[in-house]
Structure 1
Amino acid sequence: MGDPGVFDRTSDIEETMAAGARFMTDLSRAMVVLSCAVGDQLGLFAALADGQGRSADDIAKQAGADARYVREWARTLAAAGYLELDRSGEEFRLPPAYAALLADPGSPYYVGGIARLVPPLAAMVERVAGCFHSGEGLTPGDYPPAMYQATWRMSAKWLEAMLLDQWLPLVPGLEEKLTAGAEVAHLACGSGTALALLARRFPASRCTGVDRHELNVERARGEIAEYGVADRVTLTQVTGFADGLSGPYELVMAFDSLHLAADPGDVLRDVARALTETGVFLLLETDCSTDPHENVGDVAAFLYGTSTLYSVPLSRTGPVVAGMLGLPQPVLTRLCADAGLTAPRRIAAPTPFNVLYEIRKAS
């Protein structure tokens, strides 16, 4: 047993009470995020998007949901300050600022889909806890389809908004090469949205996508067919992160995924071999520091938590387990030098989580 006098001092009581209040805040946040996931999935936020006050019955009718469940959901978010409650306590209003974040997928500020990552990650807690004991890893197929569905939705939004009109113009000469016709590869291609967008904009180019997860490849094939570009996009399920990379390519892409590779340095060597002499590697990775004292705060806690439940298990069986915050720019610079690539050039920071790099063959 511990020392019975350990909490006798007033300062200890105050600190413990403050810690308890912080824990209660975080516990509340967890419930709010889960409620946001429900609201996004069922269209409850969309039913409130116009900023008008509505009863639970009205919200339920518009969303095709049960009113009693909707009332409890709405009161949860009213208690958290996300919804405004009228004087009667029966009507709920979504303020414009929250509508931009949660109700309108077309808004440049929309982040509602991120909440839908949390339930499938939470469902993996017991499985990952077992990995803590065994030291083993997991495969992409071990995770619920809902996790990938949420990822597809989020990535499609920022790719549609940024890839063609914001990112490509940052690389001198790249659009001209793609217009004339070039070979393109996407590692961990996910839903295939990036390839579909490129193939549609640049019909003279040919694109290759590889991914380790069958579910992603199936989704990508559907996306490619929907865009009408199946004649110029090849998709392959692979075992290793960069398997199937042949080239030579004018453009290789890896978006928010290199840290999932069993050996990121080995992937970079494969990229260096596959690039043309003028080719470019567009790499989106986590924006973080080599100093863990600087990786603090809400964003870092979210990233570390996601990494614990997803990134580390997926790469645990490899020789390198980078984790989601394991490839900051100085580390990438060293790995690129070892692989025969230039130091990563930071060209954009599209989200609070990420940074986009331009990387080329070293001369």
Structure 2
Amino acid sequence: MREPNLEKLNALVGKLVNDLGISLGGASILLGDRLGLYKAMADGDIFTPSELAKKTGLHERYVREWLSGQAASGYIDYHPEKNAFSLSAEQAMAFAEEGSPAFFAGAFDVVQSTYLDEPKVAEAFRTGKGVGWHEHSKCLFSGTERFFRPGYNANLVSNWIPTLEGVEAKLKAGAKVADVGCGHGASTIVMAQAYPKSRFFGFDYHKPSIDRAKVLAQEAGVGDRIEFAQASAKDFPAKDYDLVAFFDCLHDMGDPVGAGKHVKETLAKDGSWMIVEPFAHDNLKDNLNPIGSIFYHASTFICTPASLSQEVGLGLGAQAGESKLRQVATEAGFKRFRRATETPFNMIFEVRA
């Protein structure tokens, strides 16, 4: 047995203790989200456990333990002089306000799916076969929408679309837009709300997601401006689209080049393909950071198995990087490819013939 460096070992154990607390805290975040505990505290009032239990209709002893764990994690504030707890404005944005650009509670539905589906992924490691998106637990589908929606709310209309050449003007005047791999339609709905003169078409191969997207669009008041339909990235109907958008899904596809070739056939003259992908550098060493950690772990359980379950099975992964994405677009027949803008979580590419 090799002799360990005790200083390095202690540092690693310290990190694991922290990560263990975070892992357990994720389940506690799910609990608070689903039971409405965060939303009950969103106004900033200070609550004793019994007061919060009464407001939420929950058992006081459970609420007290949950509050204590949340305070230990730094997710809520503890007031020792009153033996009570509160949610700051910043914490409310992260845990209670669904429309906030910093809302994070929904992301832990995705985390839950990785634990639930670990046996399927383990078997895929042994066989080399994939795990299709549709084979995952239902919490992945809602969690993905809730994880990415804050970024779309904060950036899609105000930042991303204006960086695309001539696209914003077309959308304001009235354009045809395809949102491919739309899932529950979060991105489609944001665009439809912002550009009432345009017509939107949302496509996803997963029928339960399409059914949910239709409901959410009606609730958002834009059901009359969006047509959702079940279709894959290689067979969605061509309608001379002014814009085809792929939000955080190209890397999940088994044959992204084939998907790109189909996009080229469906675009109107002078149309644009917008690709939104998880932020990544081209070299692994540059992605060894907290955001890279999130995306590599998610890709191990979700993105890479999804790609390997399909024809070709290219397996780009969620940290593909710009060079590999550029290669996909080039092989699909596009001549112009540029990074239009970026955020800490996403890269936005404009692709044109």
- Length-normalised TM-score, structure 2: 0.90
Which residue identity is paired with 1:257? C
User: 2:38 matched to 1:40?
Assistant: no
Which residue identity is paired with 1:93? S
Partner of 2:316: 322
- Which segment drifts farther, 97-106 or 258-267? 97-106
Partner secondary structure for residue 357 of structure 1 = strand
Cα pair distance change 1:24/1:273, threshold 3 Å: same
Partner secondary structure for residue 289 of structure 1 = coil
Percent identity, aligned pairs only, is 30
Cα pair distance change 1:290/1:225, threshold 3 Å: same
Which residue identity is paired with 2:276? L
Q: Rg bigger for which structure?
A: 1
Aligned pairs for 1:87-166 within 5 A: 87=80, 90-166=83-159
Offset, 1:231: 4.8
2:175 counterpart (172, 176, 182): 182
Partner of 1:60: 53
Q: Is the 8 A contact 1:41 1:116 kept in 2?
A: no
1:288 counterpart (257, 280, 287): 280
1:219 counterpart (212, 220, 239): 212
Query: Alpha-carbon deviations, 1:198-253, whole Å to 9, x = none?
Result: 44554543332210111111012223333455455332213x43322413211000
Q: Whole-Å Cα distance in 2 between the matches of residues 201 and 337 of structure 1?
A: 31
Offset, 1:22: 1.7
Cα pair distance change 1:43/1:188, threshold 3 Å: same
Which residue identity is paired with 1:29? I
User: 2:351 matched to 1:359?
Assistant: yes
Cα pair distance change 1:182/1:64, threshold 3 Å: same
Query: Alpha-carbon deviations, 1:109-129, whole Å to 9, x = none?
Result: 222222232112211112211
- Length-normalised TM-score, structure 1: 0.88
Q: Whole-Å Cα distance in 1 between the matches of residues 293 and 168 of structure 2?
A: 37
- Which segment drifts farther, 37-46 or 283-292? 37-46
Q: Is the 8 A contact 1:259 1:323 kept in 2?
A: yes
Q: Whole-Å Cα distance in 1 between the matches of residues 6 and 168 of structure 2?
A: 62
Which residue identity is paired with 2:13? G
Cα pair distance change 1:27/1:229, threshold 3 Å: closer
Partner of 1:277: 269
User: 2:216 matched to 1:250?
Assistant: no
Which residue identity is paired with 1:53? I
Offset, 1:314: 0.8
CA RMSD of aligned residues (A): 2.3
Offset, 1:339: 2.0
Q: Whole-Å Cα distance in 1 between the matches of residues 6 and 253 of structure 2?
A: 46
Q: Whole-Å Cα distance in 1 between the matches of residues 150 and 193 of structure 2?
A: 17
User: 2:160 matched to 1:167?
Assistant: yes
Q: Whole-Å Cα distance in 1 between the matches of residues 290 and 15 of structure 2?
A: 13
Q: Whole-Å Cα distance in 2 between the matches of residues 256 and 282 of structure 1?
A: 11
Which residue identity is paired with 1:188? G
Cα pair distance change 1:28/1:201, threshold 3 Å: closer
Q: Whole-Å Cα distance in 2 between the matches of residues 90 and 203 of structure 1?
A: 51
Query: Alpha-carbon deviations, 1:260-295, whole Å to 9, x = none?
Result: 110112211221222222111111101112211111
Partner secondary structure for residue 294 of structure 1 = helix
Partner secondary structure for residue 25 of structure 2 = helix
User: 2:43 matched to 1:50?
Assistant: yes
Q: Is the 8 A contact 1:332 1:344 kept in 2?
A: no
Cα pair distance change 1:227/1:14, threshold 3 Å: closer
- Which segment drifts farther, 42-51 or 261-270? 42-51
User: 2:299 matched to 1:307?
Assistant: yes
What residue ranges of structure 1 are gaps of 5+ in the alignment?
none
Q: Is the 8 A contact 1:333 1:343 kept in 2?
A: no
Partner secondary structure for residue 276 of structure 1 = strand
Q: Is the 8 A contact 1:125 1:309 kept in 2?
A: yes
Offset, 1:157: 3.5
Q: Whole-Å Cα distance in 2 between the matches of residues 122 and 64 of structure 1?
A: 29
- Which segment drifts farther, 149-158 or 210-219? 149-158
Partner secondary structure for residue 344 of structure 1 = strand
Q: Is the 8 A contact 1:199 1:232 kept in 2?
A: yes
1:81 counterpart (74, 89, 92): 74
Cα pair distance change 1:230/1:103, threshold 3 Å: closer
Cα pair distance change 1:246/1:120, threshold 3 Å: same
Q: Is the 8 A contact 2:102 2:150 kept in 1?
A: no
Offset, 1:84: 2.8
Q: Whole-Å Cα distance in 1 between the matches of residues 98 and 220 of structure 2?
A: 20
Q: Is the 8 A contact 2:233 2:262 kept in 1?
A: no
Partner secondary structure for residue 37 of structure 2 = coil
User: Number of residue pairs matched?
Assistant: 351
What residue ranges of structure 2 are gaps of 5+ in the alignment?
none
